[in-house]
Amino acid sequence: MSAVPAHVGTESQEGRSSVEHTVSGASAGSAPATHGFQPPSLVDMAAEALRRMIIGGDLMPGDRVVENQLTKEFGISRPPLREALRVLEREGLVRQLPRKGAIVTPLTLHDVYEIFSLRWEYELLAMRLAIPVRPSARLDRVHAAVAAMQAAADAGDEPEYGRRSFEFHLSLVALSGHHRLEEAYRSLQLQMQLCMAMNRRARVDEDLPQDVGRHRRLLELVEAGDRAAVEHELARHGDRTFLDGIEHRLDGHTEVALTWLEQVRRAEEG
């Protein structure tokens, strides 16, 4: 756990209050301090607040991270904020540019092609291995993921909803009982959440409870053991809305990415 720099001790009371407010659930309702418990540092809380802003779509790929704005919003000084940015840089969510500062890691069209085509192949393989699901107790994790999505939707918590949505898809992959496949899928988490944030912003006509409904329908098809219907639903699951006109918003066009995009659109029309 990152230590709070000594010179920011005078800000810790006010600064913690501000950042804890940004990080949902960071302090509210937590149990009384016990022996050996170390509360999150300013760096930890600022890093989590930034993660939520990125995953929730408040900061989009390519957006500049304005330090002056965030120090005021979080109520902290620059040293812990910069350390938090270094944490996110190691996670791949933020990139530091010479003389320009930090930006949210941008995505190119080729990046999106690689992320989605790989995700699609992982999910298809998982469903082919998983359906029919045996033993049925494996479905408990998927039901728990849907319940967590519903709770986040009811709370209107977009960043938490994004995390729970990924956990739902990960739990579907886990139905295969193939641990290496599950770990490979998990490695895409942060990159997929960047895409999910872009997709949620694009689906302005759909609220979170409606999105939960789409995931429930997918689970029902899995439980019914209809592999063809599951594959059909996955292909039209609604997680590609942001691809509409994406070639005009993202750089990094490659022949293979443009060909893939055309294939996706033809499949959706069919």
Q: Could you read off the pLDDT of 8-47 as tens digits, one per residue? A: 333 544 444 455 555 444 444 444 445 565 678 999 999 9
Contact 126, 172 (CB under 8 A): yes
**Mean pLDDT score, 104-115:** 92
**Mean pLDDT score, 160-165:** 90
Question: Is the pLDDT assigned to residue 175 strictly greater than 90?
Answer: yes
pLDDT of residue 38: 67
Contact 56, 17 (CB under 8 A): no
Give the position of tokens 């729970």: 164
Query: How far is 118 from 116, CA to CA, in rounded Å?
Result: 5
> Which residue type is seen at 80?
P
In a domain, 35, yes or no: no
Residues whose CB falls within 8 Å of the CB of residue 259, separated by 6 or more in sequence, listed in order:
none
**Mean pLDDT score, 95-107:** 91
**Mean pLDDT score, 168-178:** 96
pLDDT interval class at 202 (50, 70, 90) = confident
Task: Tell me, yes or no, whether 99 and 173 share the same domain.
Answer: no
Nearest Cα to Cα of residue 166 among 200, 127, 205, 121: 200
Query: How far is 175 from 218, CA to CA, in rounded Å?
Result: 14
In a domain, 31, yes or no: no
Q: What is the dihedral of CA 104, 109, 110, 111, to 10 degrees?
A: 30
Task: Tell me, yes or no, whether 142 and 10 share the same domain.
Answer: no
In a domain, 32, yes or no: no
**Mean pLDDT score, 247-253:** 89
Query: How far is 208 from 269, CA to CA, in rounded Å?
Result: 25
Query: How far is 64 from 70, CA to CA, in rounded Å?
Result: 11
Q: Which residue has the higher pLDDT, 187 or 30?
A: 187
CATH number for the domain including 86? 1.10.10.10
Task: Tell me, yes or no, whether 93 and 118 share the same domain.
Answer: no
Q: Which domain holds residue 58?
A: 6-24+40-104
What element of type H or E holds 95?
strand 94-97
Q: Which residue has the higher pLDDT, 68 or 12?
A: 68
Task: Tell me, yes or no, whether 232 and 126 share the same domain.
Answer: yes
Residue 64 DSSP one-character state: B
Mean per-residue pLDDT over the chain, rounded? 84
pLDDT interval class at 64 (50, 70, 90) = very high
Q: Which of 104, 130, 151 is the last residue of a domain?
A: 104
Task: Tell me, yes or no, whether 59 and 190 share the same domain.
Answer: no
Task: Tell me, yes or no, whether 75 and 115 share the same domain.
Answer: no
Task: Tell me, yes or no, whether 18 and 129 share the same domain.
Answer: no
pLDDT interval class at 95 (50, 70, 90) = very high
> Which residue type is seen at 245?
G
pLDDT of residue 24: 44
Instruction: Tell me the Ramachandran region of residue 57: left when phi exceeds 0, alpha when psi lies from -120 to 50, beta otherwise.
Output: left
What is the count of structural domains for the chain? 2
Let me know how long the chain is.
270
Query: How far is 227 from 172, CA to CA, in rounded Å?
Result: 13
In a domain, 98, yes or no: yes
Q: Return the structure tokens found at 245.
A: 């006109």
In a domain, 34, yes or no: no
Q: Which residue has the higher pLDDT, 185 or 245?
A: 185
CA 109 to chain centre: 18
The listed range with the strongest mean pLDDT (155-164, 204-213, 223-232) is 223-232
Task: Tell me, yes or no, whether 88 and 150 share the same domain.
Answer: no
Question: Is the pLDDT assigned to residue 88 strictly greater than 60?
Answer: yes
Nearest Cα to Cα of residue 142 among 203, 63, 221: 221
pLDDT of residue 120: 92
Task: Tell me, yes or no, whether 122 and 251 share the same domain.
Answer: yes
pLDDT of residue 238: 67
In a domain, 253, yes or no: yes
Contact 224, 133 (CB under 8 A): no
Q: Return the structure tokens found at 40.
A: 């999150």
**Mean pLDDT score, 185-197:** 85
